[in-house]
Amino acid sequence: MNVNRDGDVELALKVQCALGESPVWDARTSELVWVDIRGERVYWWVPGSPSIRELHIGHTVSAVAPRRLGGYVIAVRSGFGVLDGEGTVELIAGVETDLLQNRMNDGKCDPAGRFWAGTMSETDDPGAGSLYRLNLDQSVTKVISGVTVSNGLGWSPDATVMYYVDSLAHGLDAFDFSVDSGEATTRRRIAEIPEELGLPDGIAVDDQGYIWVALYSGGALHRYSPEGELESRIAVPVALVTSCAFGGPDYHDLYITTAVDPERDEPLAGSIFRYRAPVGGRAAAFFES
């Protein structure tokens, strides 16, 4: 296993997100976009710029992705919405509105432009959440039930495999995936992640088909082969590492979101970090509706 040297991960932007999540590179504007779930905000930042833009949504926002028609698709507490260029949020599909203890969590667009996001109980009740797919006609399909903390999503470069994390299941799962229908079948565990190494959280897939997994409470990223072999461990200088996304002009910059743990003395917690990866990623898929 390869282990990074001290200093390989650099501070990209000092910011104090309570729970930074869902980073995505917007190729339209060359900006990194992400959310602060607890802070109820969406952020935009052009790397190298000393300033950032932020929008206070006014309620939980847990995931964001660029939309082909302009603006963004987002996951908010009560379901799926769209965010336009004026900062207006429109809820387009409610999810689990009868389950008051549940909220939406991490999400991402698949290669065909559908938006996926799952739910979780705010008290981490076992099996209380599900994974949903927002289809191109804006209907919603429940894909997986019995999830505790629905989290990272990613797809293989050839779009035949979907990767998925239920954080409290302590592993990385794979599904056979149909890009035409959006069906995910034949779930299997490809990597176990011991609890003492941290909880698996957000993920990114590189051009070689390897899966980068953020380790919440683990202060690291793991890079797994498609077969589930741990190939690299990348240390991050804060404990609560939440997600990662490829960006930059050549998609070799791996941007890393983090969160604040009030019980730890970590002045950089909640900031954005960057790792110059030896293998690049791909442009994020747009929501095509």
> Active-site residue numbers?
201
Distance CA 275, CA 254 (A): 5
Q: What is the CA radius of gyration of the chain?
A: 17
Is 40 within 8 Å of 56 (Cβ atoms)?
A: yes
Give the integer Cα–Cα distance in Å for 86 and 157.
Answer: 34
Q: Is 64 in contact with 51 (CB distance < 8 Å)?
A: no
CA–CA gap between residue 259 and residue 216 (Å, rounded):
9
Residue at token pair 């797994």: 224
Q: Which residue has the tokens 């190939």?
A: 231
Q: How far, in Å, CA of 102 to CA of 207, rounded?
A: 35
Complete edge-to-edge strand list for the sheet that includes strand 171-177: 150-155, 161-166, 171-177, 184-192
Q: Which amino acid belongs to residue 170?
A: H
3-state secondary structure of 278: coil
Residue type, 61: V
